Amino acid sequence: MANYEYIRVEAKDQLGLVMLNRPNVLNALNRQMVSEIIRALESFEQNEQIRVMVIYGNGRAFAAGADIDEMAADNPVSLELLNQFAEWDRFTLLKKPVICAVHGFALGGGFELALACDLLFAAEDAKFGFPEVNLGVMPGAGGTQRLTKLIGKTRALEWLWSGEMRDAEDACREGIVNKLFPKEVLLDETMKYAQMLANKPPLSVRLIKESVSKALDYSLYEGMQFERKNFYLLFASEDQKEGMNAFMEKRKANFKGQ
């Protein structure tokens, strides 16, 4: 497995785990770290053994945002030339499920990373927010877009303008957090869920992800046409035969991802 400086990566059965690992700065995301996260996820994407990916943080936070020390001296031209978001954009191309387990702070870029994942599980101590407004900037990695699509315009504006942190229960009520757990069991419960998902037919799982993502961009009609093609496509898979035969033969299906 590749050598990373700011993350730790582990393949555990069918799960690909990425741990953010700059605990002394609350896992502040510097550019190299973002690059490492993307490269690690892409390598799991290519790994046939891996069916589900999980991201979590080491220390007392998930991630307290982009690394402010690194960003402070940036200017529009340096940012344009750096084009750091080209790498970030590759996150949306991942087809396997990505689950995020958040404890402690998920702020700014850390919250954006969590929102980019497919499911978000949180510990009861989790705190979410976009403090960028207090730094004289704003979210830049999808925060204004993803939050608005999830909770609606006026609620997103209120939260983004205030820069305030909200607790996990609030985030759960807003529909941002899928499941809430006591901190001590967050990772175990996330792994259990990830393993359950890993046992589902992988082609169905990825085409459901793709179709649901399209629902955010497409009209209902276009989305349904897209869904239908994916539905048809699954009838070309061995897992469709296996799943339906297993049902009729009253036995457990053995899905192979083909």
Active site residue ranges:
66, 109, 112, 132
| 98-102 β-sheet, strand order | 7-12, 15-20, 52-57, 98-102, 119-123, 179-181
Which residue lies nearer to ligand CO8 by CB, 67 or 227? Answer: 67
Distance CA 239, CA 218 (A): 28
Provide the minimum distance between the beta carbon of 85 and ligand CO8 in the complex, in angstroms, as a whole number.
8
The reply on whether position 202 binds ligand CO8 by CB under 6 A is no
The reply on whether position 114 binds ligand CO8 by CB under 6 A is no
- What residues from 65 to 84 belong to the interface with ligand CO8 (CB under 6 A)? 65-69
For residue 141, which phi and psi values (nearest 5 degrees)? -120, 40
In the list 17, 26, 37, 53, the residue contacting ligand CO8 (rule: CB under 6 A) is 26
3-class DSSP string for 225-242: HHHHHHHHHHCCCHHHHH
For residue 237, which phi and psi values (nearest 5 degrees)? -95, 155
Provide the minimum distance between the beta carbon of 61 and ligand CO8 in the complex, in angstroms, as a whole number.
7
In the list 34, 52, 102, 114, the residue contacting ligand CO8 (rule: CB under 6 A) is 34
Q: Is 214 helix (H, G, I), strand (E, B) or coil?
A: helix
Provide the minimum distance between the beta carbon of 240 and ligand CO8 in the complex, in angstroms, as a whole number.
39
Distances (CA, A) of 69 to 29, 130, 143, 204: 10, 17, 20, 43
Distance CA 242, CA 168 (A): 40
Provide the minimum distance between the beta carbon of 39 and ligand CO8 in the complex, in angstroms, as a whole number.
14
The reply on whether position 105 binds ligand CO8 by CB under 6 A is yes
Closest to 108 measured CA to CA, from 157, 56, 144, 72: 144
Which residue lies nearer to ligand CO8 by CB, 98 or 141? Answer: 141
The reply on whether position 140 binds ligand CO8 by CB under 6 A is yes
Distance CA 129, CA 88 (A): 20
Provide the minimum distance between the beta carbon of 130 and ligand CO8 in the complex, in angstroms, as a whole number.
7
The reply on whether position 57 binds ligand CO8 by CB under 6 A is no
In the list 28, 50, 171, 197, the residue contacting ligand CO8 (rule: CB under 6 A) is 28
The reply on whether position 64 binds ligand CO8 by CB under 6 A is yes
- Enumerate binding residues for ligand CO8 (CB under 6 A): 25-26, 28-29, 34, 64-69, 105, 107-109, 112, 131-132, 135, 139-141
